[in-house]
Amino acid sequence: MKNINKIYVNGAFITPNGTEVANLINPSTNRVIGTVTLGNEIDTQLAIASAKAALPAYSKTTIAERIEYLQNLYHSVSKRENELVDIMVEEYGGTLQFCRMSTKGTVNAFLNTIETLRSFDFERKIGQSIVRLEPLGVVGIITPWNASNSFITGKLSTALAAGCTAVIKPSEMSALQTQLLTECLHEAGLPAGVFNIVNGLGQVVGAEITRHPDIAKISFTGSTLVGKTIAKGAVDTMKRVTLELGGKSPNIILDDADFEKAIPQAVLMAYMNSGQACIAATRLLVPENRLSEVNDLVKAVVTEKIKVGNPQDEDTNVGPMVSQKQYERVQNYIKLGLTEGALLLTGGEGKPAGLEEGNFVKATVFTNVTNQMRIAREEIFGPVLSILTYKTDEEAIEIANDTDYGLSAYISSENIERANTMATHINAGRVAINGFSHDPKAPFGGFKQSGIGREFGVYGLEAYLEPKTILI
Ligand code: NAD
């Protein structure tokens, strides 16, 4: 039992003004494993004031100095990588496989940013002018619970590379993970106030960040609904926003794909991060005349290869949902799929046998799904896969694009050129051909209601900078 009763402001762990206390719950057992004292508006204002005071000096640091700071951060975070994995499994319920990968991302964010920074041109000659890219100012960073620390370090490292200072509001459900990360960040010895971390509720701390005139930009990852609230609030002070929001990613299996390879991959891609992933491939689009073959393959993979269970086990593929609320949400979508007339291929309502204590959901697949059903249109954020069919490549593209979202898409084919041509017609920020892969240097972000702006690499860094044109 650990009580997180401090926030991090101006280089120190201080007692917040806020007094509300929330429980931290292990989702595998639903037992209370800690508490967090929630910061309030005053705490947020203190953190913003501290970031503002640190800005004049920090924004003038040289690239070499920023690289040194990022290297120090890398060293202090990487030293505790294993502990960061363990606490993520315990507090979030992510599988060991996923938490290891995610924490690698948490650590490597600093190195990736250093690489981008080394070759980045902060001053460019354009036309007759000199264009200087200057730090935007104090940045508000607001993150969700589904890979909490990797979102924090990804955004923070980029803000620091740009010469910005930051106020971070992590998910209130990730306080144990945040505490360990904050200890690491503190140890790196950056100047006081350069980054500040306030635990608290979205509608309190997040709302204050959104409305405060001294915040120049918000980088947010979370739901589309909250993203819209932040965008609306941010416009009053014309804050810049980067919004990484939800998804309902299509996975198109072309008729020439190797189904024996592509279908097991499709299942894993739908259930990644226990289905609680914005990029999860939740709509599987298959040729109509191959549906029964696909149904058989999917069912065999899910029932024989996918293990739902204790996230601490090496071979678990799907852990519990983060909270009882999230569990109920997923259950409601499973009920909805049944009432909408989709055919349940495997899984379904309730908890898997022997896992009644935690927020475990059965690995579920619906087939005979149409793209008009809500289970095909709305982000479920759990291990629920929908199988849809198409007759022609044109129809596959039409169905793939018939969504409010546009974060990721996947195409499988033995003919890379064919898949690549199809990718040009898909409205999504990322299209992965033949499986899931990640490129931390390439831009990441969404079309349509999956967001605004991009993260990572050069595009990500530019989003923290304001171009100033000098005409001589
Ligand atoms: P959420 O939108 O409920 O919360 C995200 C963060 O916003 C939390 O820190 C929360 O406290 C805060 N917040 C809530 N209300 C707020 C308000 N009114 N003002 C300011 N901040 C507020 O999301 P979640 O449930 O934590 O995470 C799941 C969602 O995140 C899913 O929709 C998922 O698709 C999305 N997500 C997107 C990406 C991406 O990169 N596109 C990555 C991961 C998760």
What are the chain's domains? 2-245+448-471 (3.40.605.10), 250-433 (3.40.309.10)
pLDDT at residue number 341: 98
**Segment 434-449 mean pLDDT:** 96
Query: Which residues, 6+ apart, have CB-to-CB distance to 325 below 8 Å?
Result: none
Report the C-alpha gap between 48 and 198 in whole angstroms. 10
Which ligand 1 atom minimizes the distance to the CA of 226? Answer: 2
Taking only the tens place, the pLDDT of each residue in 459-471 is: 999 999 999 999 9
Top mutation candidate among 178, 278, 438, 454 for ligand 1, by most atoms within 8 Å of CB: 278
**Segment 268-286 mean pLDDT:** 98
Q: Which band of pLDDT confidence, cut at 50, 70 and 90, is reported for residue 31?
A: very high
Q: Whose CA is nearest to atom 37 of ligand 1?
A: 245
Express as a percent the part of the chain with pLDDT over 70: 100
pLDDT at residue number 224: 97
Report the C-alpha gap between 216 and 137 in whole angstroms. 6
Give yes or no for a contact between 133 and 116, defined as CB atoms under 8 angstroms apart.
no
Helix (H) or strand (E) holding 250, with range, is strand 250-253
Taking only the tens place, the pLDDT of each residue in 391-401 is: 999 999 999 99
Q: Which band of pLDDT confidence, cut at 50, 70 and 90, is reported for residue 416?
A: very high
Taking only the tens place, the pLDDT of each residue in 179-236 is: 999 999 999 999 999 999 999 999 999 999 999 999 999 999 999 999 999 999 999 9
Q: How far is the CA of 13 from the centre of ligand 1 (A)?
A: 25
Residues annotated catalytic, as ranges: 244
**Segment 366-380 mean pLDDT:** 98
Helix (H) or strand (E) holding 123, with range, is strand 123-126
- Identify the residue whose tokens are 């209370």: 32
Top mutation candidate among 44, 223, 229 for ligand 1, by most atoms within 8 Å of CB: 223
Q: Which band of pLDDT confidence, cut at 50, 70 and 90, is reported for residue 114?
A: very high
pLDDT at residue number 173: 98
Taking only the tens place, the pLDDT of each residue in 312-359 is: 999 999 999 999 999 999 999 999 999 999 999 999 999 999 999 999
Q: Which band of pLDDT confidence, cut at 50, 70 and 90, is reported for residue 301?
A: very high
Q: How far is the CA of 241 from the centre of ligand 1 (A)?
A: 14
pLDDT at residue number 268: 98
Residue ranges lining ligand 1, Cβ < 6 Å: 142-146, 169, 171-172, 201-203, 206-207, 210, 221-223, 226, 229-230, 244-247, 278, 379, 381, 407, 446, 451
- Listed residue (373, 420, 379) closest to 399, CA to CA: 373
Count of Cβ atoms closer than 10 Å to residue 59 Cβ: 16
Which tokens go with 336?
């909805």
